[in-house]
């Protein structure tokens, strides 16, 4: 049976259409979720940032008032400082720790899977549960930390005091995330070309020199990715802060996202403030990421 050229074209169109439709059907659920959970909330945040009011009781348009008032909000500098300190300390600790653990794990010949599981285990613990675990660890009367101190004849410490609470929050974050990035680095280290290391050894390069001049440059892409992503996550710290310390004491662990939460959930008519803070934060993270990309890319020598 032979088809005319016109019928051929029609059949081709039908097949193409069918393929298009099935493609969209496969994409549909994901696209709907993307629109529902990302596009709509982003536009919703934009809309709310220009309004005064809450979910109940109506709103009114206030232009850019919510943004201009952010500068004078009492407690805002503390929240920003806490967030920056948190990110500035936790990100280097997480990445340095992850790299160190990855170097050790990559050298293991036996039992690697067990160690990898143990290192990765805290990542599997949800933030809220992790914070509850640390709440018990840091309890003044029966927590593991103070019990250990008492066992060594030391005085107990108030771990969640104003002086120590942010440090504990950072330690918790490092504990939770170091395993995640360690797995990334292990996979990258295992994939590095062995012949380069053999050649370096033949040339008499020390272990540190091999790490400094081979491993680090070869891992720079993954390290760059890790810096950018872990910095973004650090700026978004919230769940552990609310469970562990409720942003306190005296605002010692109040972060920017915590303030957003306070305005959305702790107040009946300040959704506009919360939205404005969120938008400023998105822009700040975007700007920081661009700076990081510029700095790290220039160090890579423009490749």
Partner 1 sequence: MNRRLNREICTLAEAHIAGKLSRRSFVTRLLGLGLSATAVASISAEFRPAHAASDLKGNVRFLVGPWSPQEVDHHKKISEGFTALHPDVTFEFRLYDWETDDQEINTSATAGAHDIYMITESAYPDYEANEAFVDLTSRINDPAFAEEKAKYLYFDRTLGFGPRIMGLPISFHVESALFVNMDMVKAAGFDETFADSWDSFRNCLAKLNKPGEVYPIALGVQPYGEWYQVLRAAGGSFLTPDLSSANVNKPEVIDATARMASLFTDKLAAPLGTYNYDDGPAAFAGGKVAILSIDLAATTVVKLPLPFNWKLIPNPPQAAGRMNFNDITYYMINSKSSNTDLMWEVAKWWTTGEHDAYWADNSGTYPARVDALSNGYGTKAAPQLAEALPSYQKFSVGLESFAGWASVESLASAEVQKCFTGDVSAKEAIANVESVVKQETGH
| Interacting residues with partner 1 (CB under 8 A) | 54-58, 69, 72-75, 135, 139-141, 155-156, 158-162, 164-165, 242, 245-252, 254, 262-270
The residue among 185 and 261 lying less far from partner 1, judged by its C-beta, is: 261
The residue among 41 and 191 lying less far from partner 1, judged by its C-beta, is: 41
Which string of DSSP letters, residue by residue, matches 201-234?
Answer: HHTT--HHHHIIIIIHHHTHHHHHHHHHHHHHHH
The residue among 97 and 247 lying less far from partner 1, judged by its C-beta, is: 247
Question: Cα separation of 247 and 75, whole Å?
Answer: 12
What burial letters (b/e) apply to 5-26, b meaning 16+ CB within 10 Å? eeeeeeeeeeeeeeeeeeeeee
The residue among 55 and 216 lying less far from partner 1, judged by its C-beta, is: 55
Task: Tell me the closest approach of the beta carbon of residue 264 to partner 1, in angstroms.
Answer: 6
Task: Tell me the closest approach of the beta carbon of residue 249 to partner 1, in angstroms.
Answer: 3
Alpha helices in 156-219 (DSSP H): 165-190, 194-202, 207-210, 216-218
Estimate to the nearest angstrom the gap between the alpha carbon of 257 and the chain centroid: 13
**Helix 144-151 crosses helix 127-137 at what angle (to 10 degrees)?**
30
The residue among 231 and 245 lying less far from partner 1, judged by its C-beta, is: 245
Estimate to the nearest angstrom the gap between the alpha carbon of 42 and the chain centroid: 19
Number of other CB atoms surrounding residue 101 within 10 Å: 20
Torsional sign, CA 178, 181, 186, 189: negative
How far CA 212 is from CA of 5, 102, 189, 192, 227, in Å, comes to: 66, 15, 13, 14, 18
Task: Tell me the closest approach of the beta carbon of residue 173 to partner 1, in angstroms.
Answer: 18
Task: Tell me the closest approach of the beta carbon of residue 143 to partner 1, in angstroms.
Answer: 10
Number of other CB atoms surrounding residue 273 within 10 Å: 24
Task: Tell me the closest approach of the beta carbon of residue 54 to partner 1, in angstroms.
Answer: 6
The residue among 122 and 248 lying less far from partner 1, judged by its C-beta, is: 248
The residue among 230 and 278 lying less far from partner 1, judged by its C-beta, is: 278
CA angle, residues 235, 239, 243, in degrees to nearest 5: 135
């Amino acid at each position: 049976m032979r088809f005319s050229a016109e019928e051929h074209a029609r059949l081709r169109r039908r097949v193409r259409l069918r393929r298009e439709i099935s493609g969209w059907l496969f994409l549909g659920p994901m696209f709907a979720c993307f629109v529902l959970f990302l596009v709509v909330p982003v536009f919703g945040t934009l809309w709310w940032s220009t309004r005064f009011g809450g979910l109940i009781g109506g709103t009114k348009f206030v232009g850019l008032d919510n943004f201009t008032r952010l500068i004078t909000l009492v407690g805002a500098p503390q929240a920003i400082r806490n967030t920056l300190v948190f990110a500035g300390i936790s990100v280097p600790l997480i990445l340095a720790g992850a790299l160190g653990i990855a170097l050790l794990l990559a050298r293991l010949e036996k039992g690697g899977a067990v160690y990898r599981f143990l290192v990765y285990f805290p990542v599997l613990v949800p933030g809220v549960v992790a914070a509850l675990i640390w709440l018990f660890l840091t309890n003044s009367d029966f927590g593991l930390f103070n019990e250990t101190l008492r066992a060594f004849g030391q005085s107990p410490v108030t771990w969640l005091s104003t002086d120590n609470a942010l440090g504990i929050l950072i330690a918790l974050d490092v504990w939770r995330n170091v395993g995640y990035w360690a797995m990334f680095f292990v996979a990258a280290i295992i994939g590095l070309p062995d012949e380069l290391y053999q050649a370096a050894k033949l040339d008499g390069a020390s272990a540190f020199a091999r790490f400094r001049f081979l491993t680090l440059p070869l891992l720079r892409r993954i390290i760059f990715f890790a810096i950018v992503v872990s910095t973004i996550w650090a700026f978004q710290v919230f769940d552990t802060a609310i469970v562990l310390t409720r942003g306190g004491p005296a605002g010692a662990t109040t972060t920017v996202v915590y303030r957003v939460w306070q305005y959305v959930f702790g107040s009946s008519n300040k959704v506009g403030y919360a939205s404005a803070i969120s938008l400023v934060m998105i822009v700040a993270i975007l700007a920081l990421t661009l700076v990081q990309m510029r700095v790290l890319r220039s160090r890579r020598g423009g490749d």
